[in-house]
Amino acid sequence: MKAYLLLESGDLFEGKKIGYNGTCVGEVVFNTSMSGYQEILTDPSYKGQIIAMTYPEIGNYGINSLDEESSEIFAEGFVVKESSQIASNFRKEKGLDEYLKLHKVVGIEDIDTRKLTKLIRENGSLIGVISSGDNLEEMKDMIKDYSIVGKDLVKYVTTDDSYKFEEELFRFDFEEDKKEHKSLYKTVVVIDFGVKKNILRHLNSAGFKTVVVPAYSTFDDIRSYNPDALFLSNGPGDPRGIEDKWIEEYRKAIERYPTFGICFGHQIIGRCFNIKVYKMKFGHHGANHPVKDLESGNISVTAQNHNYAVDEESLKDRGFMPTHINLNDKTIEGMRHRKLHLMSVQHHPEASPGPHDAGYLFKKFASMVEKN
């Protein structure tokens, strides 16, 4: 069955339908990961976006429930060059096409994804519509009416109720000797802007007792758990969409507890201290971004997923110092406060999917909490 992808630039791609039969609209971004499509699809940070994979064949090892980063697919749509008809893996439970249909996600394959990626690199992120029909005028109208800039998308992905998270990192049987048993037993409250399960697993592995609370929690809500630490999670869209009244509540908690923020949480920390946050041309989405730790000089290959960044000059004027930079475009990838026990990174050290180079940051956070 035919499907179409129309961009706000006017470019039209004709391909074949995969997944759900219907129409979707979103901000089209490209992801350079070669694998990990299931983790990418279930990452709540992709709410409001259509994901285009640059790797040519996607779906060849299938889907399994253990690799889900959340309970559903939050991406609006999915674009691939070729959706594999064969899925071979001893952990496989279902195929990609079946998975997309199950979650009512519209997709398209058999288009020139290299051309699409080049268009996004040249023009920046573009609003697009995928449709399994040929209703071109209706698709144009959907593009005109759609924007996620300045919008609060967190309300669509955050938890409704607080909960304890006790899952551990997945290990194969032959990795039993690699399991680490920590004895910190400090309580960390995680503000859920769209948190990924693997972040929570890493916090548990680092020795924390993990409590997840809704994004719209007050300082008193957070304090009621008598935490030893605070964590601000990843999340979707524009951090400038969160109302100022919540930013003030987060700031109170940050000033009280040792704090770590990742991705959206890193940007929210920036907002809490009046650091400028700006929209990037096409953002960073993939599992191969080189990041330099300015304190150690070490370089990590990292997983990333963000369209916004904090401004280097303004963070220096707010009591912060940069700790990490992206070696591709020199954007800020991490910062810490000069006086408060506060650190944050723009990339994803939980690496799901992606390399494990930056995993040391969870141990660094645990050490900071233990000392303070």
How much is the pTM? 0.94
The CATH T-level fold of domain 154-371 is Rossmann fold (3.40.50)
Give the pairing of strands 277-293 and 299-310.
antiparallel
Angle between helices 197-205 and 360-371 (to 10 degrees): 50
Could you tell me how far CA 75 lies from the centroid of its own chain?
11
Cite the residue boundaries of each domain of the chain with CATH code 3.50.30.20: 2-144
Mean pLDDT of all residues in 89-106: 96
The pLDDT tens digits of the residues spanning 259-279 come to 999 999 999 999 999 999 999
The per-residue pLDDT for 185 is 80
Q: Please give the CATH architecture assigned to the domain spanning 2-144.
A: 3-Layer(bba) Sandwich (3.50)
How remote is the C-alpha of 193 from its chain's centroid? 10
The tens digit of pLDDT for each residue in 32-57 reads: 999 999 999 999 999 999 999 999 99
Query: Does 134 have pLDDT greater than 90?
Result: no
CB atoms within 10 A of CB 65: 10
Structure tokens at 361: 């940051």
Q: List active site positions.
A: 263, 348, 350
Give the confidence band of 174 by pLDDT, cuts at 50, 70, 90: low
Q: 191-201 pLDDT, tens per residue?
A: 999 999 999 99
How far apart, in Å, are the Cα atoms of 352 and each of 138, 146, 208, 238?
A: 36, 29, 20, 22
250 has pLDDT over 90 = yes
Domain(s) labelled CATH 3.40.50.880 in the chain stretch across: 154-371
Q: What is the dihedral of CA 109, 112, 116, 121, to 10 degrees?
A: 130
Q: Residue 182 above 60 pLDDT?
A: no
